[in-house]
Amino acid sequence: MRKPYTYKYCFMKKVLLLFTIIVAMMTPARAQDPHFSQFFASPLTLNPAFTGLFSGDYRVSGNYRSQWRSISTPFTTGTAAIDFGILKNAINYTDIWGVGVMAMYDRTGGGALTSTYLSFSTAYHKGLDPEGNHTLAVGIQATYVQKRLDQTKLMFENQIDNNGYNPALPSGESFAHPSISYIDPNIGILYNGLVGESSNIYLGTSFYHITQPTETFQNENNNRLTARWTAHGGGSFPVGMGNRIHVSALYMKQSTASEFTFGGAYGFDLSGGDEDNPKTFYLGSWYRLKDAINPYVGMEINGFTVGLSYDMNVSSLKPASNYRGGMEISVIYIHKKSDGNKYRTLCPRF
């Protein structure tokens, strides 16, 4: 006799939870930007100053994330990007001037809110020593943002009756501007350096939504997108026999929301120390404080680095999510000419 009540209770719980998440994302003062657990594999969303910082001729990267499938229709985020160096024969040998383009989409609430981003970034990495083993970069980024709201895919409290969600009931809500767009500038700085002969560290900070553009689906124009800033760093260190350990951390704050993630991966060398054609298997984990554990497995071969991670939710949502959060995959391809590359010092990978 208690099964129908239990089912109804669980259904209502998930509907209300989904509604809460959507409302939170539609409220500029509390919303968080789309971001990845594998933040180290999405350089152009982490810091514009990463543009062009790699050992190769050009870099193509992509990310895909699916989150909260255990609760309802998953929230999905994806990116595709390319960046490369320019004027290599015209600037100082120890410097890099990088440019990049990135497209990103974010789909939440079963398509209720769809956001698309098109970013153009550039960064200049200035060599601080004659060998170029230490660089300091400043990067800027301009992003065209468009957000569309499909009210037919939203669930409101007025549409919940004794039988659960009833789309035939009027929601009592209306939106004056179901589609909005704006230009959003971002900036970042980054230090990258060689320690000893074979270790690397990097430190950076970035500032997003410098102008805090207006973002509202209503007629009011006093809702502004809150600025977001990040501080991040990491390092890579040899551990013998060609293997390396990689560590990284990220702190991010946007309005009242903050996030701290840290962890690392062990890289098992499968190429016998061939630096020109590395083959590496990665195994590690990151932890997002009070939110999720992110086991990670990756493989680097023939210029490709593929990473797979899964968020094991440990936050207050775990009763509804059953510890299940989001699956994420990343792919990075770095093209290198056979005659080598101008910039050969260690670059950040995690």
Distance of CA 343 to the CA centre of its chain: 26
Query: For residue 60, what pLDDT band results from cuts at 50, 70 and 90?
Result: very high
Alpha-carbon span 151 to 159, nearest angstrom: 13
Alpha-carbon span 235 to 190, nearest angstrom: 13
Query: For residue 101, what pLDDT band results from cuts at 50, 70 and 90?
Result: very high
- The whole-number average pLDDT for the span 117-144 is 96
Alpha-carbon span 190 to 198, nearest angstrom: 20
The answer, yes or no, to whether residue 11 has pLDDT greater than 80, is: no
The angle at the Cα of 183, spanning 182 to 185, to the nearest 5 degrees, equals 145
Residues 238-278 pLDDT 10s: 998 889 999 999 999 998 889 999 999 999 999 877 777 78
Q: Which residue has the higher pLDDT, 155 or 127?
A: 127
Query: For residue 151, what pLDDT band results from cuts at 50, 70 and 90?
Result: confident
Structure tokens at 55: 């050992």
Q: Which residue has the higher pLDDT, 218 or 186?
A: 186
Query: For residue 316, what pLDDT band results from cuts at 50, 70 and 90?
Result: low
Alpha-carbon span 20 to 24, nearest angstrom: 6
How high is the pLDDT of residue 218? 76
How high is the pLDDT of residue 150? 82
Q: Which residue has the higher pLDDT, 19 or 45?
A: 45
- The whole-number average pLDDT for the span 297-318 is 87
Domains of the chain (ranges; CATH) run 31-335 (2.40.160.40)
Q: Decide: 125 and 139 in contact? Cβ < 8 Å.
A: no
How high is the pLDDT of residue 184? 96
pTM value is 0.83
